[in-house]
Amino acid sequence: MTAYLNALGLVCALGRGKAEVARRLLAGDSSDMQPHPQTIAGRSLPVGAVTGELPSLGNAPLQHVTRNNQLLLAALEEIEPDLHEAISRFGPSRVGVVMGTSTSGIQEATQGIARLTRDGHLPTSYHYSHQELCAPASFVSERLQLSGPSYSISTACTSSARALLSAKRLLDAGICDAVICGGVDTLCDLTLRGFSALEATSAQLCNPFSANRDGINIGEAAAVFLMTRERSPIALLGGGASSDAHHISAPDPQGLGAIESMSKALSSAGTLPEQIRYLNLHGTATRHNDAMESLAVAKVFPTSVPCSSTKPLTGHTLGAAGALEAAFCWLTLSEHNPEQLLPPHRWDGEHDTDLPQLNLTAVGTKAVASRPRRMMSNSFAFGGNNISLILGDAP
């Protein structure tokens, strides 16, 4: 059964709202990738921060008062009329919520514990529920007074891509008539210091698939879709999931899990590799990820699909990355892209000669004009968890 992506709200380092994000995405604008205000392990790290004032949470209960939920609210507000219309039509019990996250409100929790360590007591702003991974879904359900299924998924960097697949299953099973789905993650000390401890962060703008790549930049974002069975221009046509469990943090070097997830996505969408007009790469700019993804893409797409990593524009938004990069495919397919441009690949142009060369897009690259259009987005995570999604013109 086809699932339609009827509405999209998003906020990330590229801006707020579909129009601004699409404009800067398609121009390859990385100007908001700026140094984090704190040095991490003695280094100044570029991050994809959302700047400016975020929406007020008003009289929300203390357990919901986090920056993570403020980011989520910024995305929800963009599609608020669509959400209320769906709730009115289907009823609160028939609207589900599936959100992906890896940070939730960990920043507020760690600040509270630091205060306890320093002063001997927790601040009045502390609530244990801030750090619970179910918090984003609970916040949405309570704010919109929904009684349908509501849960969060936390599978590291595939969390929100998996949330879209789970939302589609709720529709396919007839459990829901509409699902609010996507992901949200916030910049926090734990992830910045954790990835630095793994020697996975770069002190420069990340450089995916370059011979000179030396690590990721971290970012924050929220991307939320309204998914229903009701026809609209853009659909989630299929998806594939795999778990190669090669290593706790390193991918299978031959990309076997990535090959499986991409192949399953193509099969579920009834699509041939040559019908994919664009591939949003996971493209973290780490040595191991880019090496295995190059091998996997070359295996699945022998005809050299146009592709790019958008992480130099937003940072790696971790649990939000899957939904955010699916949103970039949605924007590329939408009315916000009248010139049919493809998201460009920002890098230094230095190919890694040890790897297959991918067909990386430049600024101004246009999609093949034929229809129907199909686009894939890859998300890979710790533990060998892999998701590939296919979006395209509604059948």
- Which residues are annotated as catalytic? 157, 282, 316
- Give the DSSP letter string of 244-300: ----SSSPPTT-HHHHHHHHHHHHHTT--GGG--EEE------HHHHHHHHHHHHHH
Instruction: State yes or no: cis peptide before 372, omega within 30 of 0.
Output: yes
Coil, strand or helix at 103: coil
Six-digit token string for 263:
């192949």
Relative to beta strand 221-228, strand 218-219 is unpaired
**Residue 59, C-beta contacts closer than 8 angstroms, at least 6 positions apart:** none
Six-digit token string for 238:
């299929």
For 281-299, give one letter per residue: b (16+ CB within 10 A) or e. Answer: bbbbbbeebbbbbbbbbbb
Cα separation, 386 vs 384, in Å, equals 6
Burial classification of residue 107, based on how many CB atoms lie within 10 Å of its CB (0-12 exposed, 13-18 middle, 19 or more buried) = buried
What are φ and ψ of residue 307, in 5° steps?
A: -150, 165
Six-digit token string for 79:
């599609």
